Amino acid sequence: MAAGDSLPALAAFTIVEAYFLQRTLFADEAFRTVCLGALGVNLLLKGIWSLAIWPFFLNPLRHLPKVPGLMNHAQIIFDSPRGRMPLYWMKTIPNEGLIHMRDTISQSYLVATNHQALLDIMSTNTYDFEKPWRFRNFLARILGFGLILSEGAAHKKQRKALTPAFNIKNIRAMYSLMWDKTNQYLEEMEKELKLNPMEGTNIADGVGKLEMGVWGSRLTLDIIGPAAMGRDFRSLQNTDNRVAESFLNILEPTTEKMAFLAMNFTLPQWIAQRVPWRLNQVVANETGFLRNLCNDIVREKRETLAASKASTKDLEADILGTMMLGGNFSDTELVDQMLTFLAAGHETTASALTWACYLLTQYPDTQTRLREEIRAKIPSGNSPITYQDLESLPLLNGVCQEVLRLYPTVPATIREAARDTVVVGKHVPKGTRVILCPYAINRSPTFWGDNGEEFVPERWIDTDKTGAPVPNHNGGASTNFAQITFLHGQRSCIGKDFARAELRCAVAGVVGRFAFEMQDPKQEIHIAGAVTTKPVEGMHLRMRRVDEW
């Protein structure tokens, strides 16, 4: 036997030997009984340790203020709206930054409630906390392992490569694209309104009805396409657009999708994907289509760049070009990033626009004042604008900030301590789960006072030395951790300024051109969604063109 063959041969012999040894030993009934008994005793001792000794006598978190009873995961996932219970706990359980709760198997969870706790988790000790693997593996089926789901060194590498695309100079340069798409959006909505006039009106009245959620998604998809990858999907002009339809099929807020989400967070993916549930096939089909689309775009981009000898300025015209220029990414990694930006980049603003329209139907006086402010600055809907035009409007910024505060697209997210760490001076053992709840923090009386749950755009408006209103960026709160819609620190949303700019354009366009109210003023709106939040019933508006702006 050659020297190189000795190790494989020895390994094969050892495996065969072990097989016959276990067959011989386990044939002995007494030996089998001892082994099974030892296994049972070990499981029993582990159960006693995990369920009785550790949580009640040794866990360093046991002295923290507690949520009464045991937490059921379904309570959090099916909470309506998600974040309602953590907000209630923040209001009713005295604490110094952390509230402790245990689930049915005595796993510890912490809810962060004050500035210091949020600072430690999102900034000081950011990389001590990671998204739990089951959560990441499920979302990766939709988003890939892009910036949102990467951790540690991979996240630092991706963040560094992507940051140049999202500096404030580049964002402000995109206002012209956003405003142009907003005008296309307004024109297409007018056509829709004429096709769907309200009862008792005619086409000449310019009063019609539409569902704002779907239209908001089309607008934001047509903005993120050119901005992220240089591809215009033209979903505004094509109501049968497959890309828009795919995201709708995945993210549509239904009870079934919430149950599907709960299953995927509970079971490992290798089991969850084999459950005979139609949504498994829906996710596989739609994400397969989106991944193939992104693969084609990445391939075409590489071919174009190789053939054209494009300049650095040309390369940085979109996020994909910036990544190809500034990072050593494989095609698979680029596809994951494109999936992430397609989903997160359009869903955040589409949801915010929907909720902005809802709030402005509830506060018609604010809607009227906002229209007057917009028209005083911008002469017509198709007039060119600059970033200063929109960023300087106090009420527009106040409305947009309140929408993002009250209706964060992701109302709650979860982290797990990857190692022993410290939060507000308390030792947090490895494996502890931490709930970050933008819905609750953004409304908490600790930060916002007694009117934290009310829509008050004026909290974002100050006056200058002459007494003229000017936007502020804190809403009167004492810390920027009072609003965590986009989180903070190294894991904050890299596209937050992009989303805010996009929302300003969309709200300015819609309010500038249309007056709107709910089709059914008595309709009760419910907030839900498997990943992001939307109105379950849709946002059905009665809209009227206001003269010729």
At residue 206, does pLDDT exceed 80? no
Pick the residue with more confidence: 260 or 54?
Answer: 260
The answer on pLDDT for 453 being more than 50 is yes
Name which of 68-72, 271-275, 388-392, 491-495 the model is least confident about. 68-72
Give whichever of 69-73, 319-323, 386-390, 519-523 has the largest mean pLDDT: 386-390
Q: Count the neighbouring beta carbons within 10 Å of the beta carbon of residue 50.
A: 13
The more confidently predicted of residues 370 and 166 is 370
Least confident of 71-75, 319-323, 506-510: 71-75
Confidence band (pLDDT; 50, 70, 90) for 348? confident
Inter-helix orientation angle 331-362/242-251, to 10°: 70
> What's the whole-number mean pLDDT along residues 174-192?
94
Q: Is the pLDDT of residue 72 over 70?
A: no
Please tell me which residue, 303 or 126, carries the higher pLDDT value: 126
- Site of tokens 């109210």: 517
pLDDT at 257 over 90: no
Secondary structure (H, E, C), 57-122: HHCCCCCCCEEEEEECHHHHHCCCCCCHHHHHHHHHCCCCCEEEEEECCCCEEEEECCHHHHHHHH
Look at residues 424, 449, 446 and name the one whose alpha carbon lies nearest to residue 98: 424
**Which of the residue ranges 22-26, 53-57, 420-424 has the most confident prediction, judged by mean pLDDT?**
420-424
Of 170-174, 326-330, 407-411, 501-505, highest mean pLDDT? 501-505
- Residue 71: which H helix or E strand, with range? strand 66-71
Residue 493 annotated as binding site: yes
The CB-side HSE value for 332 (13 A sphere, CA atoms) comes to 3
Inter-residue contact 329 to 323 (CB < 8 Å): yes
CA distance 168 to 470: 20
Which among 405, 446, 417 is positioned nearest to 91, based on CA atoms? 446
What whole-number percentage of the chain has pLDDT above 90? Answer: 54
For residue 27, the model assigns a pLDDT of 58
Any idea what DSSP says for residue 197?
A: B
- Which pLDDT belongs to residue 5? 45
Distance CA 295, CA 346 (A): 19
Confidence of residue 347 (pLDDT cuts 50, 70, 90): confident
Name the packing angle between helices 496-513 and 394-406 (round to 10°): 120
pLDDT at residue 362, rounded to an integer: 97
Q: Which of 275-289, 336-350, 449-463 has the highest mean pLDDT?
A: 449-463
What mean pLDDT value characterizes the chain? 87
β partners of residue 100? 66, 110
For 358-396, the three-class secondary structure string (H helix, E strand, C coil) is HHHHHCHHHHHHHHHHHHHHCCCCCCCCCHHHHHCCHHH
Residue 352 has pLDDT above 60, yes or no: yes
**430 against 165, higher pLDDT:** 430
Which residue has tokens 């630092």?
156
Q: Are the beta carbons of 312 and 325 closer than 8 angstroms?
A: yes
Higher pLDDT pick, 98 / 161: 98
Residue 525: DSSP 8-state: P
For tokens 């923290």, name the residue. Answer: 64
CA–CA distances in Å: residue 192 to residues 186, 233, 463: 10, 19, 41
Alpha-carbon span 106 to 431, nearest angstrom: 12
pLDDT reported for residue 6 = 45
Find where tokens 């030395």 sit.
465
Question: Of 307-311, 441-445, 488-492, which gets the smallest average pLDDT?
Answer: 307-311
Whose tokens are 């016959």? That residue is: 20
The Cα–Cα gap between 539 and 359 comes to 11
**Rounded Cα distance, 77 and 204, in Å:** 47
Rounded distance, CA 138 to CA 280, Å?
11
* Residue 171 near residue 497, CB atoms below 8 Å: yes
**Could you give the percent of the chain with pLDDT greater than 70?**
89
In this prediction, residues 182-202 reach a mean pLDDT of: 86
